[in-house]
Amino acid sequence: VQLVDSGGDPVQPGGSLRLSCTASGVTFSVLNVAWFRQVPGKEREMFAAISTDNGFLYYHHSVKGRFTVSQDNAKNTVYLQMNRVKAEDTAMYYCAAAARSWGGVWYSHTSSYSYWGQGTQVTVSP
């Protein structure tokens, strides 16, 4: 099983960016895929997620209304569309996945996810 996340780049405040998370070696249609981000000295935090079997979505309030998660089953890919980015969105972004169908709860701890991308850096600055 492999997750490859990509798309991180420098971006100006107020700008947009799209991250991708492509999975291989796993049944894409039955996954919980979460997006985490981490800044130096702090824990990795989950802020968005999608259940690929039913499309259910979760957003932390810090990104709700600005970020959108979507999936492309044909490409085994989950996207994170980031709009109206802020300086505080600067972080290393990771996608993570667990092979499970929707169970009624979202898991925010890193230990709940078996598969991880390598991370992609997003830097928001003027």
pLDDT of amino acid 66? 98
Strand partners, 37: 45, 93
> Could you tell me the two tokens for 49?
């997620």
pLDDT of amino acid 104? 86
pLDDT in tens, 71-112: 999 999 999 999 999 999 999 999 999 998 888 889 999 999
pLDDT of amino acid 94? 98
Question: What is the arithmetic mean of pLDDT over 44-65?
Answer: 96
Tally of CA atoms within 13 A in the half-sphere of 76 that contains its CB: 13
pLDDT in tens, 12-48: 999 999 999 999 998 888 899 999 999 999 999 999 9
Taking alpha carbons only, the member of 88, 16, 98 closest to residue 50 is 98
